[in-house]
Amino acid sequence: MGKLDGRVVLITGAARGQGEQEARLFAAEGANVVLADVLDEAGERLAEELGQERARYVRLDVSREDDWARGVEFAHEAFGGLDGLVNNAGILRFNALVHTPLEEYLAVVGVNQVGAFLGMRAAAPAIEAAGGGTIVNTSSASALTGMPFVTAYAATKAAVVGMTRVAALELAPKGIRVNAVCPGGVDTPMTNPEAATGALPVDASAAAEANSAFYAKHIPLGRIGRPGEVARLALFLSCDDSSYITGQPVLIDGGWLAGVQLF
């Protein structure tokens, strides 16, 4: 038996990267997975690969209320209900504080912060109606410590931690546990140097090499994180293995925040 047998879980940003790995793992553990994204071709392809009886794709812009309503309705139509949510969708923009345009800041807020809020608000009644379940929000190690050039990202991820704690308190009586994963650097398309904008125009290959050297030097485990590792943490927080854990930001950072490296 899988750890999520019989459960229906909606995962945002599921077409690629971390969300894709979560979708694959959850399906392998017996869940019926609603793949939510705006990357239609990749999302449909993944649903076809996993099998329509196990996974279905729905277009969902996490910053739009109407899309969330349709997404929850789609879960009911496709699989009969909703037992869990993984708020994975997110965007990252690199820019110095004083060079960050308001438009860019608000774009990050719309996906990372508003998206998580709308997702919890839309999914909680459906999860309660199913008899309880779980919500896993994706925060970041940058929510818990400083990092240059990510003002908008860090602000939104700190907000996700705050909302996670409040939601955990409010939803516990309804049988819903709410936790947040807080990854350090993870090797996904979102952290690809080619996606860097604003104050940090870089050569992608040179930046990738510098990125690898940084992790080797400064992270105790000596490497960047892998999407599958974060997926396993999301699974843990979504199954009965974590039945007495709620309201927690759980770090998965290779030891990044453990302390200062002296040598």
Catalytic residues: 153
Q: What is the largest CA-CA distance in the chain?
A: 56
Residue 244 — φ and ψ, nearest 5°? -115, 25
Q: In b/e form, how buried is each residue of 216-239, taking b as 16+ CB within 10 angstroms?
A: eeebeeeebbebeebbebbbbbbb
